[in-house]
Structure 1
């Protein structure tokens, strides 16, 4: 069965685990479901574009070479638990990076959660349109996976993304070349909470709490247990003196297109 034919609910259960088998280049590009139009408030979008011209997101400068920084990243949304996650992060004034799937953005009725990610000051990144292992696709298929998601996110939020995460960590030189052409840096991770496998909030919080200075932590906002883990996770890291930053803030600037980042 092709990916586009799977129910969206099943797509949301796909986990972002490290892809460890040999990569094979597919000779045939997969068929990608067309984007569905999102309902957009033109007045709100105009205000957002005006604020971006004045500087978006609000500038926050951290010297992560001197202080203990950690970047929390959430994949595969936006989903039904993303709104609650945003509430929890807002209560603590914590910023994170969200790697969104294009089909999930299309399913976000009115684009409200996707826009809120941006409006709350979080970094938003490209996690492909349908979550395939990119290293197995043709160049054209990779381009379509990235561009479809770039286009719908820009249409909904006014933001042109500058970072991406390859599903399953599946990348190679050809994928890197395509991300470079699209102006996207590849963001991997060095702390895997395995929240897709172990749906226990205490376990997820414990693994995230083992982050080191400069770590990029892999999480998924499509799992309720992960969102349940966030308060304890933030408490543990805060007690250890960590500052919570976006991926770009971790490096002090927008990461370079095509380059792969695992930690600072």
Structure 2
């Protein structure tokens, strides 16, 4: 080898070794890099939820004609205390029915909470958009209140609601007619805890504890006093031998659109 060619040969050897080392590094498992939180597309999430729970609500099988069932229902949310309530119910394995307001679903953490209600197996129902007395509205006004909320919940969760609760329990023939057109049964109650008036947890728990077999219990998840009452009322009703069910489970079949329900007799 000529003297002037020696440096060139050494450079070629170094390049070969460097390329081989780089190739070996590339063949190794890639390093784990922290990922940024991905943007959640509500439309895609709704489709995924609908795909994993066809025919929602998927009810459990209870014979509430033979066992002591009670349906706990919560109105006017989702709000700032709903997440804590969901935590409590999940720890106890209890499912309830939430009658949501469209304007609350649209606000702040509402979309997340509505999706969580559905994801954790609770039943979700329509409580209108802005909580007016539906009996004071025209047919078109009732339709707008129900449809706007229904469309928002369906877009966020993939769920088409089958239940509604008229604000203040105010209903009549034209409200029933519009509910029927929207495919919604009217769910009222036979046990009012009056938690909106008496915001004392002990009083709310004591009233809820008076439930009888087949009762639909009215509460509001927007009040912290109600949420704090839940563990006590669950303990009381459990000791009395009750099984906690959703409204649809209480009747063991989807309630009939337009018809009023207050309890299972």
TM-score interval for Structure 1 and Structure 2 normalised by the shorter chain: 0.7 to 0.9
Aligned to 2:232: 232
TM-score, scaled to structure 1: 0.83
Q: Which of these two proteins has the greater Rg computed from alpha carbons? A: 2
Matches within 5 A, 1:27-176: 40-53=41-54, 55-109=55-109, 111-176=111-176
Partners of 1:169 and 1:77 lie apart in 2 by 16
The structure with more helix, counted as a fraction of residues: 2
Q: Which 5+ residue runs of structure 2 have no aligned equivalent?
A: 1-39
The root-mean-square deviation of aligned C-alpha atoms, in Å, is 1.2
Q: Which 5+ residue runs of structure 1 have no aligned equivalent?
A: 1-38
Change (3 A) 1:49 1:261: same
Partners of 2:179 and 2:46 lie apart in 1 by 27
Give the ranges of 4+ consecutive aligned residues of structure 1 lying more than 4 Å apart after TM superposition: none
Residue 195 of structure 2 aligns to a residue in which SS? coil
Residue 217 of structure 2 aligns to a residue in which SS? strand
Cα deviation 1:13-40 (Å, max 9, x = unaligned) = xxxxxxxxxxxxxxxxxxxxxxxxxx74
Are the counterparts in 2 of residues 77 and 101 from structure 1 also a CA contact under 8 Å? yes
Partners of 2:101 and 2:42 lie apart in 1 by 22
1:191 equivalent to 2:191? Answer yes
Aligned to 1:213: 213
Aligned to 1:262: 262
Query: Shift of the alpha carbon at 1:192?
Result: 0.3
TM-score, scaled to structure 2: 0.83
Residue 49 of structure 1 aligns to a residue in which SS? helix
Change (3 A) 1:110 1:146: closer
